[in-house]
A and B are shown apart, each in its own frame.
Chain A
């Protein structure tokens, strides 16, 4: 069974631009969660989508948004990029979502904001 895939793996943007990251979950998984990982803050929860609906949201500004498609693939968008948005963005998929079963992580997208 193929694992969670994320594209692109690496991205370089400049301040003020916007970026879209993509995540394909494990086949059959309906939940996709997004996380930001930085050396200073560690892994922080962004949001969770289940069956195309946002089910849970972390404490991030509105510049961070996401969506999920009918095939469970998910995209995350960050608008008006700031230097502090440089991070590894991880997505995780699970069958039924947080609190219900295990999440499996993708390799991440390394975003660098210059």
Chain B
């Protein structure tokens, strides 16, 4: 069965303190891996799509990477406005499967 596991569940950082979020997955026939950001009471906001191992995407302070078994979301010098829940999702042959998310808090 397809599975997506995100770690850590929660992460507290000081402003400027870089870190990484992990998304490990097992899926039949990966068609794409997606990263979303979700603020409380809102729908997920699209960040990145990765399709194959070795691929990397960047946007402002965020960088997503993909291997055959996991993806990382690197956050460089985060700011308080980066506080949110970050969701990883994999699209396999069966359906779209989401991880439980990492709740990131960035303190000023």
Contact = CB atoms under 8 A, between A and B. Distances in A.
Same complex origin of A and B: yes
Interface of A: 4, 33, 35, 42-45, 48, 56, 58, 90, 92, 98-100, 102-108, 110
Main secondary structure of the interface of B (DSSP, over half): strand
Contacts of A106: 43
Contacts of A58: 95
B96 A45 contact: yes
A103 B100 contact: no
Main secondary structure of the interface of A (DSSP, over half): strand
Given A45-B97, A98-B91, A103 B43 contact: no
Contacts of A48: 95
Contacts of B91: 98-99
Contact of B43 (A4, A42, A56): A4
A104 B46 CA distance: 6
Contacts of B100: 42
Most buried by A among B42, B44, B49, B99: B44
A105 B31 contact: no
